[in-house]
Amino acid sequence: MMRGLPTGLRARLVITFTLVAVTASAMVAGLGYQLVRRELLDRTERSEVADVRDTLSKITLPVGVSDVVWPSDSTVTDEDLGSLVSALEAPERVIIVTYGDHRRSSPGARFTMSDVPDQLRWQSARRLVYQRLRLRDEPWLLVATQIQRANQDGVARPTGLTAYVFLPLHEEEGVLLRLLTALAQAGGITLTIALTVALLSARSVLLPVRRLGAAARALGTGDLHVRLPVRGRDELAALTATFNETAAALENTVSELRTLESMSRRFVADVSHELRTPLTAMTAVTDMLSEDAKDLPDDAGEAVRIVVREIDRLRVLVEHLIEISRFDAGAAVLRRETVDVGDTLADCLEVRGWADRVKLTVPVGLTFSLDARRFDVIVANLVGNALNHGAPPVLVGARQDRTGLEVIVRDHGTGIPDHALPHVFDRFFKAGSDRARSVGSGLGLAIAKANAELHGGGITVERCDPGTLFRLWIPRP
């Protein structure tokens, strides 16, 4: 699997800076190398060709019976060709002189006429020519010319003698190789410098960005007082100033919201507490009315039952609002004690008259450390929800392992719709229109979840076939 290119800003800055530096260095080095190579070889060619031409101009050619030596002139002997070869010889040079069918080479010559390109032979019949060759994996300069001499009238005429001079270019190749090595070393140094400068530049550029990131994370965790110093007048300085302005505006907004939230919680708590006194009196009155409701006319009896039911619903709502206000104010306190889970669950069901409507399955002797009152509230809300909105049988079970305690509550009704599952623990949420006027306050499951989280655990819900399953998890303290 191929890995993608680095996506971090630091890596991209370093790579870009390095690529630019390396590319520029390679272009400069390559151009410099080519210029030096061309100038060195051209100068060598000019020097060697001038030396060959000067040597030929000083040679005394054999003179035959005719005005000019021709290939058919028998006065030119092998000794004459050897003298011409000797006159052109120099260290490491290879000389080949031809005169018609006669050929003479330097002693121990490494090359023959087969090493001379055909095009160079043809061109050398008219003028002095030269060409760089690579023979036997070595560089050579081949100079070829037909030797001329002036006749008695001073006119230069070809003699039929052709000289081929192989001049070595080892030293020039060595110089170029050393130059190439030096350029490679310079490239390595340039690359090191480029990487160092790139890292330093990336650090100086990214330092404000990292500071902004750290400040943004601090702002996200609730530290609304975080601010950054504005240095310079570049884009990052403008961004820092914008961040500071945004943080200040957010702090003001959050402060206002917190004030409003505090006022709202205080209002709910005050109203709930103020309602408890009249509700107590109303409950006492409705208890007496409910006892006499059967003796009243049908309409009056129904009205009494409605009043009793709504007052009871209002009482539950006020109790739930008071409980919620304690959680919102951070006043909820957990008081753990080791209890028998089976007895606690049985008492919860029996007190509320649900013992005969719920099947309880708990291992004998199961004990656990928890807040018994809050555990009772959790189970009561879960079981009450199953009884009111599910269908029998309602099952309650508990088990314990080395990590904690798990309690499940399941009914066999139609189940909660899929779209409502994520919201069942929201405050005042009711899954369907048929529940809008139910006895519940819409706060029971929210209170159950808050109590579970106070224990360090949680509650999950899932659909079954049929019904709904609530799973309470409380970890070991």
Note the pLDDT tens digit of each residue in 434-471. 554 455 567 888 889 999 999 999 999 999 888 899 99
Neighbours of 232 (CB within 10 A): 10
How many CB atoms sit inside 10 A of residue 237's CB?
15
- Do domains 61-168 and 258-328 share one topology? The answer is no
What are 103's strand-pairing partners? Answer: 98
Return the CATH number of the domain spanning residue range 61-168.
3.30.450
Distant-in-sequence, close-in-space partners of 102: CB < 8 Å, separation ≥ 6: 76, 78, 81
- Average pLDDT estimate for 11-26: 80
- Work out the average pLDDT over 304-327: 75
Q: How many CB atoms lie within 10 A of CB 395?
A: 17
DSSP 418: G
For residue 466, cis peptide bond before it (omega within 30 degrees of 0): yes
Going by CATH, does the domain composed of 337-475 fall within 1.10.10.350?
A: no
CB within 8 Å of 146: residues ≥ 6 apart: 124, 125, 126, 158, 159, 160, 161, 162
In contact, 156 and 150? CB cutoff 8 Å: yes
Is the dihedral angle over the CA atoms 465, 466, 472, 475 positive or is it negative? negative
Q: Which among 400, 397, 386, 382 is positioned nearest to 447, based on CA atoms? A: 382
Each residue's pLDDT tens digit, 336-388: 999 999 999 999 999 999 999 999 999 999 999 999 999 999 999 999 989 98
Average pLDDT, rounded, for the chain: 82
Kindly list the domain boundaries of the chain, sorted by start residue.
Answer: 1-58+174-217, 61-168, 258-328, 337-475
How many other C-beta atoms are found inside a 10 Å radius of the C-beta of residue 181?
10
For the domain made up of 258-328, the CATH class stated in words is: mainly alpha
Helix (H, G, I), strand (E, B) or coil at 343: helix
Q: Residues 305, 310, 311, CA angle at the centre, nearest 5°?
A: 100
Q: pTM for the full model?
A: 0.47
**DSSP annotation string for 203-222:** HHHHHHHHHHHHHHHHHHTT
Please, is 366 exposed, middle or buried when counting C-beta atoms within 10 Å of its C-beta (0-12, 13-18, 19+)? middle
